[in-house]
Amino acid sequence: MTTTAANSLWLEEYLPFFDRYQTAELTDEDWRAWRRNRLRTTLRHVRDRSPFYGRHLAGIDVDSVTPDTLDRLPFTTKDDLRREMFDALSGGPAQALMYYETTGTTGASTPCPRDAKDVKTSNIHVEWAWRRMFERYFGARRPVIGLMGPSELYAFGDTFGDVAQRLDACHVKIWPESPRVGFRKALRLIRELEVEVVVAAPALCLNLAKAALQNGLDPARDFSVKLFCTLGEICTPAFGENVRSIWGADVRPALYGSQEALSIGTGCTHDRLHISQPNYLVEVLDPDTSVSLGGYGTGELCLTMLIDGIKPLIRYRTGDLVVVSPNACGCGGPGDVVEVLGRVADRVRIGANGYRPAQIESSVLGGLTGCLGYQVVIDAAADGGDRLTVHLDLRTPDGEEAGRLGAETAARLSERFEVPVRVDVTTELDPITNTGAFVSWKAARIRDNRVAADADADAARAVAAAHRVTS
């Protein structure tokens, strides 16, 4: 049987299930059968076709493993993927439909090809999430969409380009960080094409605004942008409200995913992310003990992929700190809800307490408007405790108003973190704050002088240097 025929036959199974998933017609027994059968199929697939999993699962009777006994299987980690490279694939790269790699900012770039099954079963969730999103904002008409991805070897442009075509929506691929595009040309295209939807990492919402203001343009007055669809890093409600104060545009989550694990979750008009449930078995792990807490709770997200494509991963530790909850959203979309709190490694101790990235960002931006960027610097205080300096780039940093905002913010943050806080209102932040999702939220937003710079911080410095060329 040819690959095309095999995929066509397989989609005859997937699409009817997906349609019933969208209309909430699946019973508990439907789900049990789907997960049991897809897990068995995928485990056989990786055992027989992937050199890595052939060794990794050696001695395990994969046919006896069920969704309830996943803990009998070993984890797959990012280090495994960096070490194994092509051996982690369930087939050669030439069998893929498209080839991608991770960005390689903090380690070797790892291969992330996708075959027809991967593309269709992942993109269809994005498509239907966007159908609901655009109906809410634009009714029956289609907006012009500006896509702003991280690199040409990333799936971003192809994924959203494919979905835009399925929706008959005009889209333009604009890479502001590319030296052949740059921010000035990106802004010109957004204006001339009357782009209404921008798909980008959260940090880029602020970087574009900063570039617009530097070129004498008002983001809210001189552009047609009505909606930012964000992905790639945490985006708190406080961040979204701040962006709205600058652009007059809403910020909604577009997608939560990765090169390795594809489209894990898609966004909705209620600012939630819904897991693409037919494609995954979800576990939440205690990040300190690695013990599985089950399918719901707060901890590190661990995924077992149920699509037997070119690179399915088994018990893959994403490194992301999340909250997974049953769907009680009310938006009309299916799938359990996942809230991304940041990376597990990005947790930060301040004073006597530990904080997640989302908690820090919400604390800094809560109550602020017109903030074009921020950075939190942590130093050891003379008394052995900690002290913070928060640098804020505000749109209107003039004298008295800047002093008032700085004093109010310092008092609020000092109460929140229980340490001394100084606020510096400036127009020139450390360039590392422009890097956002390219490396990690922590590398972009936190400078911890209590410890030596790590690999993430060094990588972010290199990315920041490249960013300055285009901005």
CATH of the domain at 147: 3.40.50.12780
Query: Tell me, what DSSP letter sits at residue 385?
Result: S
DSSP string spanning 138-172?
A: HTTS---EEE--S-TTSSHHHHHHHHHHHTT--EE
Rounded Cα–Cα distance for residues 376 and 371 (Å): 14
Tokens found for residue 141 = 């008409």
Residue 389 shares a structural domain with residue 256: no
Rounded Cα–Cα distance for residues 290 and 256 (Å): 22
CB proximity list for 5: less than 8 A, separation 6 or greater:
none
| CA–CA distances in Å: residue 387 to residues 249, 361, 367, 447 | 35, 17, 21, 12
| CA–CA distances in Å: residue 224 to residues 61, 143, 146, 167, 246 | 57, 10, 11, 20, 13
Using the 3D structure, point to which of 344, 371, 389 is the last residue of a domain. 344
pLDDT-above-70 percentage for the chain: 92
Write down the pLDDT at residue 2.
54
Tokens found for residue 343 = 């990376």
Residue 332 shares a structural domain with residue 393: no
Residue 433 has pLDDT above 90, yes or no: no
Residue 316 shares a structural domain with residue 369: no
DSSP string spanning 26-78?
A: --HHHHHHHHHHHHHHHHHHHHHH-HHHHHHTTT--GGG--GGGGGGSPPB-H
Residue 346 has pLDDT above 90, yes or no: no
Phi and psi angles of residue 172, each rounded to the nearest 5 degrees, phi first:
-130, 130
Rounded Cα–Cα distance for residues 181 and 471 (Å): 10
CB proximity list for 262: less than 8 A, separation 6 or greater:
114, 118, 122, 155, 279, 305
Q: For 254-277, how does the pLDDT look when each residue is reduced to its tens digit (9 = 90+)?
A: 999 999 999 999 999 999 999 999
Residue 205 shares a structural domain with residue 125: yes
* 446: Cα within 13 Å, side-chain hemisphere: 28
CATH of the domain at 441: 3.30.300.30
Write down the pLDDT at residue 208.
95
Q: Which residue has the higher pLDDT, 436 or 86?
A: 86
Write down the pLDDT at residue 1.
43
Residue 397 has pLDDT above 70, yes or no: no
Rounded Cα–Cα distance for residues 291 and 301 (Å): 12
| CA–CA distances in Å: residue 52 to residues 46, 85, 286, 458 | 8, 9, 26, 31
Position 240: which residue type?
G
Our measurement of the distance from residue 281's CA atom to the centroid of its chain's CA atoms, rounded to an integer in Å, reads: 19
User: What mean pLDDT is predicted for residues 395-400?
Assistant: 72
Residue 68 shares a structural domain with residue 134: yes
Rounded Cα–Cα distance for residues 282 and 265 (Å): 12
Write down the pLDDT at residue 87.
97
Helix (H, G, I), strand (E, B) or coil at 311: coil
The mean pLDDT value of the chain amounts to 91
Considering Cα of 168, then 124, then 196, then 134, what sign does the dihedral take? positive
- Would the pTM count as exceeding 0.85? yes
Residue 321 shares a structural domain with residue 402: no
Using the 3D structure, point to which of 296, 319, 344 is the last residue of a domain. 344
Position 321: which residue type?
L
Q: What string of H, E and C letters represents the secondary structure of 320-363?
A: EEEEEECCCCCCCCCCCEEEEEEEHHHCEEECCEEECHHHHHHH
- Rg of the chain over all Cα atoms, to the nearest angstrom: 23
Write down the pLDDT at residue 469.
46
Write down the pLDDT at residue 125.
97
Tokens found for residue 224 = 């047609």
Where would I find the H helices in 77-155?
78-84, 116-138
Rounded Cα–Cα distance for residues 20 and 25 (Å): 5
Which among 454, 361, 463, 442 has a CA at the least distance from the CA of 150? 463
Using the 3D structure, point to which of 296, 315, 344 is the last residue of a domain. 344
Residue 412 shares a structural domain with residue 437: yes
- Which strands form 371-380's sheet, in the order they lie side by side? 421-426, 386-394, 371-380, 446-448
Domain containing residue 355? 347-470
Number of domains in the chain: 2
Residue 390 shares a structural domain with residue 315: no
Residue 143 shares a structural domain with residue 267: yes
Residue 281 shares a structural domain with residue 361: no
Residue 398 shares a structural domain with residue 338: no
Count of Cβ atoms closer than 10 Å to residue 412 Cβ: 17
Let me know if 55 is exposed, middle or buried by CB neighbors in 10 A (0-12, 13-18, 19+): exposed
Q: Which residue has the higher pLDDT, 453 or 218?
A: 218
Residue 85 shares a structural domain with residue 111: yes
